[in-house]
Chain A
């Protein structure tokens, strides 16, 4: 077999990596290279250097070290039983590519993942070597995200956490049962234990020793995970239940939802339908409500028919429509908690309303200037010069927001 060129390898190994949704480069420690001895910086907030036509941001060079894999996960394009073309980058090739892309301002850093070759330890060892070379030989101060392999030795995970900004371990599917069925070589226990281990190391890295010395930072941008939506039969309540548990147990920064998308050379065991993008979108909205809007899980899932979120309207609007007895709320006097529940108000809008109403009584026109989406909010609020009248209680209120029903085609 002829040696593949870098270009060919890059094509294969970025194609293999695209099903990982995460591309975040935010939330790490601030650092730069103004001392003139290194390359790169991290401002704390991420930068998206490009956008692909699938609407996803491209912030990092997201590649697999190799797409050879000894596992046979049904949903994965790189499973051992798939016929996709295989390739493997050497350590130096990944390092050079990362530095060359970074110097041209194409990327914020590297997101490195890998198929499992030979053994989990061997694979993790190579990935750590890449990160070490970037940090120690190239003095690279940009962002590094390493996908950790749950079964790898603790020393390797410890070193990975010292070199990388973020570690992630994918839970892959919403239930243990589904993991067993679709990813037979992976163990949900092992994945949870690995996440607990990362959390404990993060806690330990924040403890000063008795001399007041701070231990080295461990994955300062935290850990994240990804779950595939729509490959198994789990409903949204199950998926969000799992996320709540993961956030609560392991202090994850993010749970990414990835709509199961057709892959080349798919397994006969999984139906190839177009990916449930709308469902994915609603799950992210619900996830946000849980994390930033003080919603409890049951409040979101109670209104979900069959445990699934309404695809036509967003989960906050669905909650508001089911709890109209609490509306309309007066923007000039309502509590912060209640303002956060108004559809069309975001956290920033609510903060601005609270800051501004100390100075004046808010009129309807003012609310729009504060960044609210009045198309949704107007039914649920009163302000000086505005009351929704009977609109809040009208029977066909949902029809105002949901897309019109579609006539099914007979043919």
Chain B
């Protein structure tokens, strides 16, 4: 405890059934109330976001007969950032006969999350993973296949089986097009009303229930209120708080943050995933970072020179003067250690002065051995598009010169707290995909984000939301209801305030500076001193933002800077909570590494007795911490070792 936060009551009920983990989902589905097909058309559900989670949920709810209204800020639902996922999607199919099973996927995910996820949820995720692949194939998702016509698999970080299904280097786009096409079919059928180029700016809560949203039409600037019987947020993660990340430029926390301010608890905000294989920064113009799929680590070998400040070209450094440090430190997983481990190892060798490229912020990812072993055509068939992408951005040919990579912010495990039904602490507000905190604990394994997004949207939410909707339809709302007017006025006032400052600094300049603070003090390594300093810096910068930001134009037009300004304003508030969460968690777990809590060999040191809980924060002048204590009945917490 400190003056930065208060301790509240523990979270008593997660709505998860007890008893054998294998049958919990089946029993929850049976106990959940149903809505009969004739009544479903009387119920409206708003879905915010059209990525894998939101797209699949909207399509499935509409197919079931609910009236769905869907929102996205892009010009088409097909463009949500799930589209950029490269590597693949996990499923416990055991098509390779290599010992995989639902239990092993469950085990790997709980362990990979550093024992900070809820067992019930993770087991369900592993169970429905097999249905996802079947569903996607039925929709025409063109997964990679072998010559016999069956599906191919590859292995991915943090596991020792091959359970990852993929579509070249664009699995995300292919899965998203599957969900998008299912949505478009429902739009044509009149079951989904689609609102592209709209942004949710407030949640409407009436009598304690989520009943609608306030949105801004990004083309005309018009503010409208939309009402429903339930609201589903599928609005993605908050990695853009760092300014530079692998997220799309538009990704933001506003929908989640507005819901948080209206009573939804925000869980584990400090758990951020820094992905080890991204293209390093090239200069101050940099607007985003580009990921190179983790699948590259299947065949690429990571190394740095043994000596510090070795300026020779990679080809001039002889084999015995190279340090394949992942293979050396982690012989059993080698280059396939989980992301948090690989990222921190890269940071460590760069801190030792052995980094390569401009500023010494990079390590090599070398395919020379793979090309010698498999031949260039085989390497090209597997990774060709990734190599092209690398060459396009850097101007270097990875067939000839090793790639240079460096960690970058990629995914956020934290998010709005949800129970087993994926319902937040605001009744009627459901949160799915990256926007919620569930399933990945303190670190997400590769190829598990696509799995979770589609699990939530296709199979989990449509079965749990009926339990809530069965008490509806709720009383019709009108635009002059007190709560509606208040929500709408709050949005209008906020936009007016942003436009009225008329200062002398651009939104981007503030966002960039905020990102620097977060990367420096709340990035790959965190300390009490650094986090305390960061909180002061963030507060100072936030005050400066509200007195010096310059937002050109008006609110009644397409105004991309006004959109950005609102998002950055919310990032300031989130950034402070992330630092407070990171400060309070005086242990290292997964993507959260506290320098004060490490083992003798420099590996992360958890403190299960003290911190074996989900930290769920209630909004307030001083945030209040509610703990959901985690119980491990099946996968007993141990020191996570990949050595």
Chains A and B bind each other: no
Chain B residues with a Cβ under 8 A of chain A: none
